């Protein structure tokens, strides 16, 4: 159990606190943090929308703004609670103000850069096919116009420590070491469910040009590994080409196969082998009591630390772990019990009705 040195700076000045909670998810665009502020001076410790950064033992973890400043007063004490959000929060709340609202012959990264009118920034290592036209709907946020396209391409949108958006297709790497029962796991829960599982995924759409069957009635299909007949038909948003429909069908099938297998683990620290836990990275999970022995993707993390004894007594991390396919990864092919296994998703197909 190791004490982490968390430094909160607001408007360039450090702000002391007694408790911190940091939250990040591979399926959300904006990470955030909550602090119990140590403040005895008159008035609030800061205002909303002030520039803020958070570092964890020297590593930048969040770049953003103060959000809510809440004061509490009783007969014998007073306190302040502060929330801080990533710069990327503006991507989900503020509308894009673009002169034409139109992007031509660009891939997803190019579309993102075109409509990044607030200068938030975008990071990605993936390549996607170019789209002939992308039209911004009036009042859309940056995230809204990207999310529809990202979903069609099987791409996750989350954020970075610098407050930029990040586009990922599957996990962003691995965390060293392992989470092991009896070693670095204090508590754990596991869920294996038939909810959200299907036998096959069909994605239907329509091309903007042409009158052939492939233009008017295209279908992308992929088996999702369900044990009984439970088809799911999705309507594809945007241009329906064979590659886009197959990508969408494969994405939905992977998520269906992986989303039914999840566990939550609480560890007495924020690191594994010295490496800070990161969302959308895989880690080896070994919990014999649950029959788990495989790589799992860290879907979300809640870091908590309370200045109880200064020695790490109040330090813990709660990780939500999912089968890698739930977030676009591949079959982990571990040694888990049969109930944790799911069939590999086959290559998707395309046809016209």
- Where are the domains positioned within the chain? 6-87, 94-168, 174-194+260-340, 200-254+346-352
What pLDDT shows up at residue 210? 45
CATH number for the domain whose boundaries are 94-168:
3.55.50.10
What pLDDT shows up at residue 243? 76
Max avg pLDDT among 142-156, 172-186, 192-206, 213-227: 172-186
What pLDDT shows up at residue 307? 77
Q: 324 near 297, Cβ under 8 Å? A: yes
Does position 81 have pLDDT exceeding 60, yes or no?
yes
What pLDDT shows up at residue 154? 86
What's the mean pLDDT in 251-268? 86
pLDDT digits (tens, 9 = 90+) for 158-205: 999 999 999 999 899 999 999 999 999 999 999 988 887 888 888 887
With CA atoms as reference, report the closest residue to 353 among 153, 240, 212: 212
**Considering just the CA atoms, what is the radius of gyration of the chain in Å?**
23
Tokens, residue 275: 């490496």
Q: 227 near 200, Cβ under 8 Å? A: no
Q: 15 near 9, Cβ under 8 Å? A: yes
What pLDDT shows up at residue 13? 96
Phi, psi of 112 (to 5 degrees): -60, -45
What pLDDT shows up at residue 308? 63
What pLDDT shows up at residue 309? 52
Percent of the chain with pLDDT over 90: 61
What's the mean pLDDT in 256-261? 79
pLDDT digits (tens, 9 = 90+) for 108-139: 999 999 999 999 999 998 999 898 899 999 99
CATH number for the domain whose boundaries are 6-87:
2.30.300.10
Max avg pLDDT among 45-59, 138-152, 221-235: 45-59
What's the mean pLDDT in 38-49? 92
Percent of the chain with pLDDT over 70: 88
Does position 206 have pLDDT exceeding 80, yes or no?
no
What pLDDT shows up at residue 277? 98
Q: 82 near 37, Cβ under 8 Å? A: yes
Q: Do domains 6-87 and 94-168 have the same CATH topology?
A: no
| Secondary structure element (H or E) that encloses residue 214, with its range | helix 213-216
Q: 109 near 186, Cβ under 8 Å? A: no
> Residue 325: which pLDDT band, with cuts at 50, 70 and 90?
confident
For 174-194+260-340, the fitting CATH number among 1.10.645.10, 3.40.47.10, 2.30.300.10, 3.40.50.2300 is 2.30.300.10
What pLDDT shows up at residue 37? 95
With CA atoms as reference, report the closest residue to 222 among 347, 61, 38: 347
């Amino acid at each position: 159990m190791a004490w982490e040195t968390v430094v909160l700076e607001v408007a360039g000045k450090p702000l002391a606190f007694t408790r911190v909670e940091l939250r990040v998810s591979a399926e959300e665009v904006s990470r955030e943090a909550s602090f119990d502020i140590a403040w005895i001076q008159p008035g609030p410790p800061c205002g909303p929308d002030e520039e803020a950064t958070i570092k964890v033992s020297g590593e930048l973890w969040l770049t953003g703004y103060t959000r809510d400043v809440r004061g509490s007063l009783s007969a014998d004490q007073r306190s302040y609670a502060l929330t801080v959000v990533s710069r990327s929060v503006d991507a989900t709340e503020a509308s894009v103000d673009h002169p034409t609202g139109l992007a031509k012959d660009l891939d997803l990264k190019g579309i993102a850069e075109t409509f990044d009118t607030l200068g938030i920034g975008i990071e990605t290592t993936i390549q996607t096919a170019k789209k002939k036209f992308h039209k911004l709907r009036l009042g859309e946020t940056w995230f809204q116009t990207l999310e529809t396209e990202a979903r069609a391409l099987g791409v996750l949108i989350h954020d970075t420590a610098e407050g930029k958006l990040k586009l990922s297709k599957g996990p962003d790497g691995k965390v060293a070491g392992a989470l092991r029962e009896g070693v670095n796991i204090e508590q754990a829960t596991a869920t294996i469910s038939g909810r959200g599982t299907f036998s096959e995924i069909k994605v239907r759409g329509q091309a903007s040009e042409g009158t052939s069957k492939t233009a008017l009635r295209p279908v992308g299909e992929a088996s999702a590994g369900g044990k009984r007949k439970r088809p799911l038909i999705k309507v594809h948003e945007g241009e329906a080409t064979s590659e886009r429909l197959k990508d969408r069908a494969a994405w939905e099938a992977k998520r269906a196969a992986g989303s039914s297998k999840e566990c939550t683990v609480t560890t007495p620290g924020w690191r594994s082998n010295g490496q800070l836990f990161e969302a959308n990275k895989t880690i080896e999970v070994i919990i014999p009591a649950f029959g788990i022995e495989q790589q799992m993707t860290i879907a979300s993390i809640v870091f908590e630390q309370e200045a109880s004894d200064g020695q790490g007594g109040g330090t813990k991390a709660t990780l939500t772990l999912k089968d890698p396919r739930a977030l676009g990864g591949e079959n982990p092919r571990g040694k888990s019990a049969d109930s944790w296994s799911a069939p590999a998703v086959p290559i998707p197909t395309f046809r016209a009705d």
